């Protein structure tokens, strides 16, 4: 027996080639996988990720509802605008009506004051006329003179003047009226004398001094009667004879024929 036959060898037994090959293949596959994964990761890092959100598609019913809602909104806006215009117009009309009412009240008040002043003046004039008539009667009684007026029949220009004023009896009294169907007192007198070629001033104050002053006890048909002072008269008329006169008195009576006692005059002037 050999001395070395029982001595174990210190060398490791050799592995079989197939196992080593398998292990190498596995390792290579792992490395390949890692390489591929790394490349994919690098590619993903280089390119940004884009996320797409898909919106729902409008259906026909939803589109109709949206259109109807828009129409309703537009109509509501139009209604609000129309209402605003109406409110503005109503406010303007109310303001104008208030202004018109205030103006009407002012005019009515002014008219009322003017009428009150006219009545007061007429009352004062009537009172003065009555006093003068009383004094005149007293003076006549003491002196034995007569205060009767002339009853002679008018002729010529005087007759034409009287015919004119009598033809206007019943016409309306209008302040500032000069005919042909409405008159004030001086307008009637001026028109009557114009018929016979006599040009008189337009207003009572001037007509009361247009001719020769005559006594009320010596009146003749065609004389101009006046109420108030000479040069400051507020009313005139025409003496037509027989103690009567014609004049445009006031809005309530118009042009009338009345006796001197109805409204005794202050004085008279003769222009014919």
Per-residue pLDDT of 53-73, as tens digits, reads 555 555 677 778 777 888 888
Residues 214 and 161 placed together within one structural domain of the fold: yes
Interval 6-43: pLDDT, tens: 555 555 555 555 454 445 454 455 445 444 455 454 44
C-alpha to C-alpha distances, 66 to 60, 70, 78, 221, nearest whole angstrom: 10, 6, 19, 99
- Measured between alpha carbons, how far is 240 from 256 in angstroms, rounded to an integer? 12
Interval 151-178: pLDDT, tens: 457 788 999 999 999 999 999 999 999 9
14, part of any domain: no
Residues 243-246: contacts with CB under 8 Å, at least 24 apart: 243/149, 243/151, 246/162, 246/165, 246/166, 246/168, 246/169
Predicted confidence at residue 120, as pLDDT, reads 64
What's the pLDDT band for 128 if we cut at 50, 70, 90? low
Question: End of a domain among 147, 175, 191?
Answer: 147
- Element housing 128 (H / E): helix 60-143
- The CATH code of the domain that includes 181 is 3.90.1720.10
In the sheet that holds 267-270, the strands lie side by side as 212-214, 267-270, 224-227, 235-241, 244-250, 254-259
Cβ neighbours of 173 (radius 10 Å): 21
Residues 134-143: contacts with CB under 8 Å, at least 24 apart: 136/216, 136/217, 140/217
Predicted confidence at residue 48, as pLDDT, reads 55
141, part of any domain: yes
- DSSP β-bridge partners for residue 26: none
Residues 177 and 228 placed together within one structural domain of the fold: yes
Predicted confidence at residue 187, as pLDDT, reads 97
63, part of any domain: no
Residues 243 and 138 placed together within one structural domain of the fold: no
- Measured between alpha carbons, how far is 15 from 224 in angstroms, rounded to an integer? 172
pLDDT over 60 at 149, yes or no? no
Are the C-beta atoms of residues 220 and 149 closer than 8 Å to each other? no
pLDDT over 50 at 212, yes or no? yes
Residues 261 and 158 placed together within one structural domain of the fold: yes
Which residues, at least 6 apart from 8, have a Cβ–Cβ distance to it below 8 Å? none
Interval 235-257: pLDDT, tens: 999 999 999 999 999 999 999 99
Residues 101 and 203 placed together within one structural domain of the fold: no
* Torsion sign (Cα): 157, 160, 164, 165: positive
Full residue range of the structural domain in which residue 248 is found = 149-270
205, part of any domain: yes
Question: End of a domain among 114, 147, 180?
Answer: 147
Residues 176 and 120 placed together within one structural domain of the fold: no
Question: End of a domain among 113, 147, 181?
Answer: 147
Number of domains observed in the structure of the chain: 2
Predicted confidence at residue 215, as pLDDT, reads 96
115, part of any domain: yes
């Amino acid at each position: 027996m050999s001395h070395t036959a029982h001595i174990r060898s210190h060398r490791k037994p050799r592995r079989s080639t197939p196992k080593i090959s398998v292990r190498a293949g596995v390792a290579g596959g792992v490395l390949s996988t890692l390489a591929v994964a790394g490349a994919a990761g690098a590619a993903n890092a280089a390119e940004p990720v884009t996320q797409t959100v898909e919106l729902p598609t409008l259906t026909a019913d939803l589109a109709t509802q949206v259109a109807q809602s828009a129409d309703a909104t537009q109509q509501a806006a139009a209604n609000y605008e129309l209402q605003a215009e109406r409110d503005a117009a109503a406010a303007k009309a109310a303001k104008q009506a208030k202004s018109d009412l205030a103006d009407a009240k002012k005019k009515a008040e002014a008219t009322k004051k003017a009428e009150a002043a006219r009545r007061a003046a007429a009352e004062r004039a009537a009172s003065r006329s009555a006093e003068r008539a009383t004094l005149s009667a007293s003076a006549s009684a003491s002196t034995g003179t007569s205060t009767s007026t002339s009853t002679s029949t008018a002729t010529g220009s005087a007759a034409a003047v009287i015919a004119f004023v009598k033809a206007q009896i019943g016409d309306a009294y209008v302040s500032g009226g000069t005919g042909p169907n409405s008159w004030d007192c001086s307008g009637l007198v001026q028109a009557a004398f114009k018929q016979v070629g006599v040009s008189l001033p337009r207003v009572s104050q001037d007509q009361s001094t247009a001719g020769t002053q005559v006594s009320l006890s010596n009146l003749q048909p065609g004389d101009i009667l006046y109420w108030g002072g000479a040069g400051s008269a507020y009313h005139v008329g025409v003496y037509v004879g027989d103690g009567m006169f014609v004049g445009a008195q006031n809005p309530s009576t118009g042009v009338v024929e009345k006796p001197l006692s109805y409204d005794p005059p202050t004085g008279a002037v003769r222009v014919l």
